[in-house]
Structure 1
Amino acid sequence: MKKPVTRLLGAVVTVATLGLSPMTPVTADEVKIPVGSQAERSEADLPRTGMSQASVRDSWGTPRETRGPVGDPPISQWHYDGFVVYFEGNHVIHTVLKRDR
Structure 2
Amino acid sequence: MNATITNAKAFMEIQEEFGSFSKYIWNFVDGTPIKNNVKIYKEAPANTPLSDAISKDLKKRGFKFVGSTVIYAQMQATGMVNDHEASCFRYHEV
TM-score band w.r.t. shorter chain? under 0.3
The one of the two structures with greater contact order (alpha-carbon pairs below 8 A, sep at least 6) is 2
State which structure, 1 or 2, has the greater radius of gyration over its C-alpha atoms: 1
* TM-score where L is the length of structure 1: 0.25
More helix by share: 2
* TM-score where L is the length of structure 2: 0.26
